[in-house]
Each structure stands twice: as structure tokens, then as C-alpha cells.
Structure 1
Amino acid sequence: MDQKIFWNIMKETKQKSSGDLKRQVVLVEAYLWNFSLAEIEIFYRIYLAFRILASGEKLEMEIGQLMGFSDDSFDYFKAWLIAQGEDIFRKVVKDPTQLQNFLRGNCQLEELNYVPYNVYEAKLGRDWLDIPGKGDSEPYNITGYELLYLDDDENKQSEEEMRLH
């Protein structure tokens, strides 16, 4: 499991679900059943890293202005954003004003947050959080996003340095 596989899962499940978010969650879960427990944990850590990357203040303000979200709703929105795939994720995280180009219907996907836990627990036969160290997993060290979310006001970086890798 790595970032490429993670994003391929999101891309394939989005295509196969034809925009049905609940169906996409079921498909992601089905994909994860094919992976080992260690790979499922890495999937979760990658997912966690992208949720953190999508936690910027500018994005939260943009979604708040467009949709009036609460803190919980913003968490569910981040799951939806990840489910849209890498291209949309990158565009929106880099420039939150792009979000308005992608909003269609429901843009919350709380259920995706639980998929790695559910599959892991079902395969293992016990609760993920009962396993020492599983409740405090570290985010995966994602690559290719290093300069994606720098704030010009705080980081006086040149436009060239702000480009995606």
C-alpha cells in the first residue's frame, strides 16, 4: 500500500459508483478486504495524512462560506474531498476557491472515515482501538505535497517555490 494505490482506489471506486457516495464507500471497503492488516493500517495512515493536509484554515473558511459547515461537517467534507480523487483534492487544497467548481449535491461522506477501522476489525475479529498503539497511529509520510499548502502571507515564498512538485 502506498499513495499511488490509495489514489487508484479512490479513482476506481468513484468511477464504478457513478457518483453514488454510499456505493463508493461500499466499494472502498470491498477493495480493502483484498489487503493485509498491515496494508489496511497503511491505507488508514495515508487517509489520515490527507485529512490533515485538507485541514487548512483557508479551505475551512471557503467551505464555511459556501455551505455553512460545523466542525464535524468539515471533517465529513474532508472525507468527501478525498473520495473525489487526487486531481480534485490537489486543486482544492492548493486553491480553496476552486471548490465551487466541484460542489455537486451532498459533499459530506462521514462513512468513509470508518472504512479502514471496519475492515480491519472484521478481518481481525476484535476492535481496532483495543490493540495497543492502534488508536494513536501516526499519519503516513506522504510525498509530492510539500509546498501545496503554504500561505504567502506567512511564508514569503516565490511563486516558483509554491508550484506543486
Structure 2
Amino acid sequence: METLLIYNDGSSNKFWKIYVAGNTSTVTYGKVGTIGSVKTKEFQSEEACQREGEKLIQSKLKKGYVFAQSSHQIVKESTMTEAQFWELLETCKEKGEDIDEQIEWLVTHLSRKPVKDIVMFDFIFNQYYYKSYTSNLWAAAYIVMGGCSDDCFDYFRAWVLYLGKECYEAAIENPETLLPYFKLLEEQEEIPQLEELLYVASIAYEEKTGFDDEKYFKLYDQLAKDDYIEPELEFDWDGDDEEGLRKKFPLLWGAYGENPL
């Protein structure tokens, strides 16, 4: 259930929106044309959540709110764009001498933004992150690190994304374009993993609101409506077939096949 109401008495022009899914309701409210503020509430049952939602709607109608014919120009979904997302990743690299300081800056920066912007940052991140779930990229990670579990591949993909849009897109097309970045990590005695990037949004939300990641993920489901389901990958390579991996990515194998990071 999703309902959008507006109120205009000449001096006040505001909106109130409720979205109910399962046993959780999300209310967004504020001045028309803004992204507004967000509140979520969890109930013991779907029925109780639905009843409370209907009760709140009736209460608003009694106060003079009316049903909006369209959400166009009433609710601004977010100020976070894809361009801003990539710009933030580039900017945070300049905000610290090491990755921990950079991620800390990113968390703090996001925590000062509206909740919707935090969620949208996470949503944009996830859309690109999903696209990196490929057999080729996993094979590259396997070669370079001498093996790669599910979790390891998750952290590897986050690292690839952190390199920036151009590097990310090139790596999806051809993982061997990552070779210079692997060489740099080798010099630094590091590995291509960035688990921390996966939790930036939920930590920023906790810093902003005081609510934990469980609350955040429920809010994410409500606002982002991200229905992605991780597919079953069909590998065109075998970790035990060294010759096959060598032929698949000769440059990566030549650099790390015998001496992985």
C-alpha cells in the first residue's frame, strides 16, 4: 500500500506519504518539492501494520490533507545521482592517507545527508555491484589471489568498484586491465579486497539516526524497492585447470599464476 497526501492552506504546502509492505511502514513527510524526512515502524503482524497505516491516513484526511493525483514535483526522491555517487568515491580518495581514513570520511559525509540520499547512494552502489557478478571477474580474482571464496569475491568486487567508473567498466569488459592496480597492491603488500565499502551506507545511517543495520536494511527495502536476486553463475573455467586459466587470462596468469597476492 502506498498513499500520498498533500496539504496546502496558503501558508503551508506540504506532503505526507506512507508505504506499507509486510509488517513495516515507512512515512515520508515534508515541504512539497523536497525529499522530506523519513520514519519507519515495525509491527508484530502485517494486519496490525495495515490497520495502523489506514488509521494514519484517516487522521491526516481529517486534518485537511487530500489525496495527491500524482507524485510529480511533490516528492523529490533524492538528490543523489549516479554522477554524484562516482564523484564521492573519487573525492574520498583524497581525504586520507590510507583506505581506513578515506572510508571514515565517506561514512561521515554520508551521515550528514538526508536518509533518502544515504539509501540512494547504497542503491546506486548495488546496481553496479550486481553487474560485477561475472564468471570472468571471478576467474581473475581466483588467479590473482590463488583462490577466491564467495565472500572473498564480494570484497574483491567492492575493491574494483572503488577504483572508479572507468576502471570498473574496463574491468567488467576485460579483467586484465586491472593488472597495473594489482602491481601497485603488490608493492604495498596489500590484497584486492575492500569489505568496508559494503557497509558504508548502513554505518552512515547508524551514525545519523542511532538505529542499527537491521533497521537500515528494512528501510532500504522499503525505499529502494531493490528486487535483485543473485543468479547462479555458470563458470566457463575450472580452478583445478591451470592450463585453462592460463589461456583465459595469460597476462594475469603470467604475473600471479605461480605467485598469487
TM-score (norm 1): 0.75
The aligned residue for residue 82 of structure 2 is: 3
The aligned residue for residue 120 of structure 2 is: 42
The aligned residue for residue 178 of structure 2 is: 99
Give ranges in structure 1 of 5+ residues lacking alignment.
141-165
Q: State yes or no: 1:33 paired with 2:147.
A: no
The aligned residue for residue 155 of structure 2 is: 76
The aligned residue for residue 207 of structure 2 is: 122
CA distance, structure 2, for counterparts of residue 53 and residue 85 of structure 1:
14
Question: Cα distance, 1:121 vs. partner?
Answer: 2.1
1:23-59 superposed Cα distances (whole Å, 9 cap, x missing partner): 2211211221231000000001011111111111111
Question: Cα distance, 1:125 vs. partner?
Answer: 2.2
SS of the aligned residue for 1:77 comes to helix
Question: Cα distance, 1:106 vs. partner?
Answer: 2.5
Report the CA distance shift for 1:62/1:37 in structure 2 as closer, same or farther (over 3 A): same
Bigger proportion of residues as helix: 1
Question: In structure 2, which of residues 135, 142, 147 is the aligned counterpart of residue 57 of structure 1?
Answer: 135
CA distance, structure 2, for counterparts of residue 58 and residue 42 of structure 1:
28
Query: Partner letter of residue 16 of structure 1?
Result: K
Alignment root-mean-square deviation, CA:
2.1
Instruction: Please tell me whether the aligned partners of residues 121 and 128 of structure 1 are also in contact (alpha carbons under 8 angstroms).
Output: yes
CA distance, structure 2, for counterparts of residue 132 and residue 92 of structure 1:
29
CA distance, structure 2, for counterparts of residue 132 and residue 51 of structure 1:
17
Give ranges in structure 2 of 5+ residues lacking alignment.
1-79, 228-261
Query: Partner letter of residue 51 of structure 1?
Result: Y
Instruction: Please tell me whether the aligned partners of residues 7 and 86 of structure 1 are also in contact (alpha carbons under 8 angstroms).
Output: yes
Query: Partner letter of residue 204 of structure 2?
Result: V
SS of the aligned residue for 2:140 comes to helix
CA distance, structure 2, for counterparts of residue 30 and residue 133 of structure 1:
21
**Greater Cα shift, 90-99 or 123-132:** 123-132
TM-score (norm 2): 0.49
Report the CA distance shift for 1:131/1:70 in structure 2 as closer, same or farther (over 3 A): closer
Instruction: Please tell me whether the aligned partners of residues 14 and 83 of structure 1 are also in contact (alpha carbons under 8 angstroms).
Output: no
CA distance, structure 1, for counterparts of residue 217 and residue 96 of structure 2:
35
1:72-130 superposed Cα distances (whole Å, 9 cap, x missing partner): 01111111112111121111112112122221232111111111001112212223423
CA distance, structure 1, for counterparts of residue 216 and residue 205 of structure 2:
11
CA distance, structure 2, for counterparts of residue 117 and residue 51 of structure 1:
16
Query: Partner letter of residue 27 of structure 1?
Result: W
CA distance, structure 1, for counterparts of residue 174 and residue 209 of structure 2:
40
CA distance, structure 1, for counterparts of residue 174 and residue 152 of structure 2:
20
The aligned residue for residue 87 of structure 1 is: 166
The aligned residue for residue 110 of structure 1 is: 195
Aligned residues: 139
Query: Partner letter of residue 62 of structure 1?
Result: A
